[in-house]
Structure 1
Amino acid sequence: MTSPAAGLHARVVDPSRGVDVTVTVGPDECVALVGPNGAGKSTVVETVAGLLRGTDSTVHLDGRDLARLPAHRRRTGLVAQRADLFPHLSVTDNVAFGPRAAGAGGREARHRAATALALVGVAGLGDRAPATLSGGQAQRVAIARALATDPAVLLLDEPTSALDLDARADVREALATARTGRPTLLVTHDPLEAVALADRVVVLQDGRVVEQGPVEAVLRHPRTPFAASFSGLALVRGTATAAGIALDGGGELASSTRTVPPGRPVVAALHPTAVRVGRDGTGPGRTVTALEPRDGLVRVRTADLVADVTVATAAALGLAPGITVRMTVAPDEVAVYEPAG
């Protein structure tokens, strides 16, 4: 296999975990790895970092073969869910630890630490002890610690998942600065994080790549169930018609976004809040299978369609499992296209 001249190219093969994933990241690109738990995301990151050594895996960075190099010689910067700062060292000494371990003198290491801390907006924390930092401050220090080693590739493994909502915005801003100018792999379960940081999304499932593309394309027109769930959309399957899609579960949805000739298998992506629920009207009746609380709304599930309605609407309609409802969606809320594979 020929490696690219610039950027990261990795094929991660781990038979014991059922993983066989190829991912390429450009020299100034951030790729978000998303997928359900156990899909292989952490295996990819740990293999690139050198924490896992698979005999069949290959890792090339800017044309250099990293697969046989130990982790400390790969020039990878890893930011994980938790900062895990050394509690007995000051913030500056925590950030300077990497350069010192790589052979830099004390003055040079402290200079690089100060530069990295300023870059992520926490220059005034250098003399503080880790125990005195908030979660967001500690994570920005962890980002500075990764940057102080001048990494050739940045690996972000759910870097904001352990933070409260107020801290995430500041940390995302620091990550946006950190990822500039180097290939970056981002593992995330947060679509907002993917939008803010990534150029492309790679969707993993059962150790394989099942979908990939630019962030906007994957989030607006997901082709797999997980990508649809990740983007907040519902995905339904059926057959293309002149007007839109004939659903496998019965009935038809009109669509103003359709490019597939009639008769072909297609999927339709729509947001559950766009689905209107009533007890009367035209169209096939659907049986409510479950009602679930969801972000202040009530999710109404049927065999193929889901809708998010207000609590007041659910009460007014007398919704309950077993009730027959009719669901409609405006054509401009339905995107019809061919599924993955």
Structure 2
Amino acid sequence: MSGGLRAQVVVPERDVDVRLDVGPDECVALVGPNGAGKSTIVEALAGLLRTRRGEVLLGDRVLTRLSAHRRGVGLVAQRPDLFPHLSVARNVAFGPRAAGTAVQEARHRSATALAAVGASELAERAPGTLSGGQAQRVAIARALATEPALLLLDEPTSALDVDARTEVRAALGTARTGRPTLLVTHDPLEAVTLSDRIVVLDSGRVVEQGPTAAVLGRPTSAFGAAFSGLTLVRGTATRGGIALEDGGELASGTGTAPPGTAALAAYHPTAAVVSRNGAGPERVVTALEPRDGLVRVRTVDLVADVTVSTAAALRIQPGERVRIAVPAAELTVYQPAATS
């Protein structure tokens, strides 16, 4: 199998300048808001977007000027786009045959790839008879049959229902093994189950990166926090917690930032307690939003998810003052980390 990926993707007309490194047996999740540059990076690595600047190295091979069909890159996109006139087995064998592989070898690769993703029983089916999850597993097998040196997964489960996503994630876990893999996703569970590291993009630049557990547990960027479902606040570390930029303090049971230094703190909004006259910094409510059966109370920096009955009992309205407390055991204080 190939070595790792080292790439500098520079597309000035899209304001993208990103360096990526993916180890030989590593899966890196690429996340970020819409328009951050994720699709540009996938297109550039796959050879679908020709770039005048930057460099793409895969092991000891320079891919920068190679056309898409000569790169040895497998791409699994949101939709499978199988050939409707070919059986599943022939769809999967198409890539090897197009590359000049003999018929018998192409059939062997097709059967092997389908077995790897648990879809052998689909071999003789027509694509039009498959469910969404089955079709996507076939698309993964099609990519594997080309024996790609690099695998690109571009939101591979976003078009599927919850049940289908589970079976496809299992197939992706098999597919990513033994090769560098870049996963573009908006699904935190997908990142947790498949990726070793997370790279966060915003406005065409890397704003945060690190091991999956670190980025999800101690995010340093606004999108990293939103992706992990946490609220991120900034301030100055104290001996017992953090003094917030917008006033007030929060206590923490876990802290790694020296007192007096710039610090971040993260907590889950469901841990926060909202009251009229209780503990916690006083804030003005800026917005109320429905959130998975709860009510999200937003202020300039603090966020709390409360039950509908709690919101009604407190008669919370935008523009009114409330106090928001976070139990010390639920708040983690840490130092900001460099993006690279």
Q: Which amino acid aligns with 1:315?
A: A
Q: Could you say what secondary structure the match of 2:158 adopts?
A: coil
Q: Which amino acid aligns with 2:76?
A: V
After superposition, the Cα gap between the structure-2 partners of 1:73 and 1:249, relative to the gap in structure 1 and judged at 3 Å, is: same
Residue 282 of structure 1: CA displacement? 3.9
Which residue in 2 is equivalent to 1:332? 329
What is the CA RMSD across the aligned residues, in angstroms? 1.2
Contact 2:295–2:308 (Cα < 8 Å) also in 1 = yes
Which residue in 2 is equivalent to 1:261? 258
Q: Could you say what secondary structure the match of 1:320 adopts?
A: coil
Q: For 1:288, which of 270, 285, 290 is the aligned residue?
A: 285
Q: Could you say what secondary structure the match of 1:155 adopts?
A: strand
Contact 2:281–2:325 (Cα < 8 Å) also in 1 = no
Contact 2:274–2:304 (Cα < 8 Å) also in 1 = yes
Residue 290 of structure 1: CA displacement? 1.1
Which residue in 2 is equivalent to 1:131? 128
**What residue ranges of structure 1 are gaps of 5+ in the alignment?**
none
CA distance in 1, matches of 2:215, 2:202: 15
**Is 2:195 the counterpart of 1:209?**
no
**Is 2:24 the counterpart of 1:36?**
no
Q: Could you say what secondary structure the match of 2:192 adopts?
A: helix
**Is 2:284 the counterpart of 1:278?**
no
After superposition, the Cα gap between the structure-2 partners of 1:90 and 1:283, relative to the gap in structure 1 and judged at 3 Å, is: closer
Which residue in 2 is equivalent to 1:57? 54
1:24-63 deviation digits (Å, cap 9, x = unpaired):
1110000011111111111111111111111212111111
Q: Which amino acid aligns with 1:178?
A: A
CA distance in 2, matches of 1:284, 1:42: 41
CA distance in 1, matches of 2:84, 2:307: 47
Correspondence 1:176-191 to 2 at 5 A? 176-191=173-188
CA distance in 2, matches of 1:261, 1:111: 60
Q: For 1:232, which of 210, 225, 229 is the aligned residue?
A: 229
Which residue in 2 is equivalent to 1:95? 92
Q: Which amino acid aligns with 1:90?
A: S
Q: Which amino acid aligns with 2:170?
A: E
Structure 1 residues 224-233 or 60-69, which shifts more?
60-69
Residue 106 of structure 1: CA displacement? 2.0
Q: For 2:21, which of 24, 30, 34 is the aligned residue?
A: 24
Which residue in 2 is equivalent to 1:141? 138
Aligned length: 337
Which residue in 2 is equivalent to 1:244? 241
Q: Which amino acid aligns with 2:41?
A: V
Q: Which amino acid aligns with 1:301?
A: R
Residue 338 of structure 1: CA displacement? 2.1
**Is 2:295 the counterpart of 1:298?**
yes
CA distance in 2, matches of 1:281, 1:34: 38
Contact 1:224–1:340 (Cα < 8 Å) also in 2 = no
1:289-318 deviation digits (Å, cap 9, x = unpaired):
111011111101112110011112112222
Q: Could you say what secondary structure the match of 1:304 adopts?
A: coil
Q: Which amino acid aligns with 1:47?
A: A
Q: Which amino acid aligns with 2:301?
A: D
CA distance in 2, matches of 1:109, 1:282: 68
Residue 186 of structure 1: CA displacement? 0.4
TM-score (norm 1): 0.96
Residue 237 of structure 1: CA displacement? 1.2
**Is 2:195 the counterpart of 1:198?**
yes
Q: Which amino acid aligns with 1:333?
A: E
Residue 114 of structure 1: CA displacement? 1.1
Q: Which amino acid aligns with 2:168?
A: V
Residue 340 of structure 1: CA displacement? 4.2
Which residue in 2 is equivalent to 1:48? 45
Structure 1 consecutive aligned stretches of length 4 or more whose deviation exceeds 4 Å: none
CA distance in 1, matches of 2:64, 2:257: 44
Q: Could you say what secondary structure the match of 2:273 adopts?
A: strand
CA distance in 2, matches of 1:67, 1:286: 52
CA distance in 1, matches of 2:334, 2:106: 54
Q: Which amino acid aligns with 2:182?
A: L
Contact 2:242–2:333 (Cα < 8 Å) also in 1 = yes
Which residue in 1 is equivalent to 2:310? 313
CA distance in 1, matches of 2:72, 2:189: 28
Contact 2:283–2:322 (Cα < 8 Å) also in 1 = yes
Which residue in 2 is equivalent to 1:167? 164
Residue 283 of structure 1: CA displacement? 4.2
